[in-house]
Amino acid sequence: DVQQRSRQSNRGRRGAALIFQHRGSRPQGSGITMAGSPACERDIYVTRCCPPSMSKRSCWRVDQFQILKKVGSGYASTVYLASDNATGKQVALKMYHKAKLSELNLFQVSREIQIHADLDHMNCLELWAAFEDQYGIYLVTEFAGKGDVFSFVEARGGRMTEEEAVTQVIYPFLNALMYLHGKKIMHRDIKPENLLFTSTGVLKVADFGLSINFAEERPVTRVGTLDYMAPEVLRCPDKNLPADNKCRADLGYGEQVDAWAMGVLAYELSVGRPPFGMSDREATMRAIASHSPPMPEW
């Protein structure tokens, strides 16, 4: 199902687990680790963004971190603020729970790690490492201490001034988006919750769980968060397996869907609500497909 104001993204359903092992460069291939099997911990990826004080360890394990608090959760994942025991650095530790991951979820997590690990831009959240054990797949990222744009705006009464929106969010976000599209990466889940502020106020694009390299794979699936979906995304069906719909020449969309979501974001920051939000999902889908956004009354 496409989610509406619950802010959840399309993911998939239950299953077991993956993944591949590789350090320092683009992953080559994959392996399978079933959920609950007696597998030892192993590194999937250590990126060039990882601080030198953390990158030299022989292996990564969840007990190397002190969990400080939970900062977010989804159907199959939980995000924690954690502290690295060896260095004291604060990190965000995202755990995908293997027992809840389907084949499609596993494909998406694998793709997320490949894409995120290759990014190096001041306005993209840094992925430092990824590793797994028998219970989960873990992504270690920099921690953005001021939280997400949605919470930031809510705390300010639900909207930003035009100057604040442009300078603090839209301009740095466009810098990141141009970088991503230059690398043939489509984000596909742009929304205020996936834009974070560091403790110094730098905007960071986060959550590449639905991102796709459109030079390598044709996007043919309805994914994302409903309020920010472009009409051409809505015309695509859901899928249950990675290969679903790939043979259909009548389906597909381009990186322009990220630009659409950026326009929805800009409207919401200024007005205090997304332009097509209706009372129910079906009404919102009809509005996106056929209506011009209502002009706000100032």
CATH classification of the domain holding 205: 1.10.510.10
148 belongs to the catalytic site: no
Give, as one character, the DSSP assignment of residue 228. Answer: G
Q: What is residue 277's predicted lDDT score, i.e. its pLDDT?
A: 81
- Which of 111, 142, 173 finishes a domain? 142
Average model confidence (pLDDT) for the chain? Answer: 87
| Structural contact between residues 253 and 247, judged by C-beta atoms closer than 8 angstroms | no
- Which of 83, 116, 142 finishes a domain? 142
Average pLDDT, integer, range 6-22: 36
DSSP strand pairing (136-142 vs 127-132)? antiparallel
Q: What is residue 298's predicted lDDT score, i.e. its pLDDT?
A: 58
**Number of neighbouring beta carbons within 10 Å of residue 218:** 15
- pLDDT at 193 > cutoff 80: yes
Residues 179 and 235 in one domain: yes
Q: What are phi and psi of 232, to 5 degrees?
A: -70, -25
pLDDT 10s digits, 197-210: 999 999 999 999 99
Residues annotated in a binding site for ATP: 94, 142-144, 193-194, 207
- pLDDT at 32 > cutoff 70: no
Residues 282 and 151 in one domain: yes
Residues annotated in a binding site: 94, 142-144, 193-194, 207
Angle (CA) 99-100-106 rounded to 5° is 95
- pLDDT at 154 > cutoff 90: yes
- pLDDT at 143 > cutoff 70: yes
Q: What is residue 34's predicted lDDT score, i.e. its pLDDT?
A: 42
Catalytic position from the list 189, 238, 258, 280: 189
Q: What gap in Å lies between CA 166 and CA 43, rounded to an integer? A: 39
Angle, helices 171-182/256-271, rounded to nearest 10 degrees: 170
Decide if 23 is inside a domain. Answer: no
Q: Exposure pattern of 172-205 as b/e (b: 16+ CB <10 Å)?
A: bbebbbebbbeeebbbbbbbbbbbbbeeeeebbb
Domain count across the chain: 2
* 3-state class (DSSP) for residue 41: coil
Decide if 5 is inside a domain. Answer: no
Q: What are phi and psi of 103, to 5 degrees?
A: -60, -40
Enclosing domain of residue 134: 42-142
Residues 168 and 260 in one domain: yes
One-letter identity of residue 199: S
Percent of the chain topping pLDDT 70: 86
Average pLDDT, integer, range 93-112: 96
- pLDDT-based confidence at residue 1 (cuts at 50, 70, 90): very low
- pLDDT-based confidence at residue 294 (cuts at 50, 70, 90): confident
| Structural contact between residues 113 and 96, judged by C-beta atoms closer than 8 angstroms | no
Decide if 222 is inside a domain. Answer: yes
How many residues does this entry show for the chain?
A: 298
Residues 135 and 252 in one domain: no
Residues 264 and 169 in one domain: yes
Residues 176 and 200 in one domain: yes
- Which of 142, 167, 188 finishes a domain? 142
DSSP strand pairing (77-84 vs 203-205)? unpaired
Q: What is residue 8's predicted lDDT score, i.e. its pLDDT?
A: 43
Average pLDDT, integer, range 170-188: 98
pTM: 0.86
- pLDDT-based confidence at residue 40 (cuts at 50, 70, 90): low
Decide if 297 is inside a domain. Answer: no
pLDDT 10s digits, 275-287: 998 888 999 999 9
- Which residue is associated with the tokens 């687990």? 17
Decide if 26 is inside a domain. Answer: no
Residues 129 and 152 in one domain: no
Q: What is residue 64's predicted lDDT score, i.e. its pLDDT?
A: 97
- CATH number for the domain spanning 93: value is 3.30.200.20
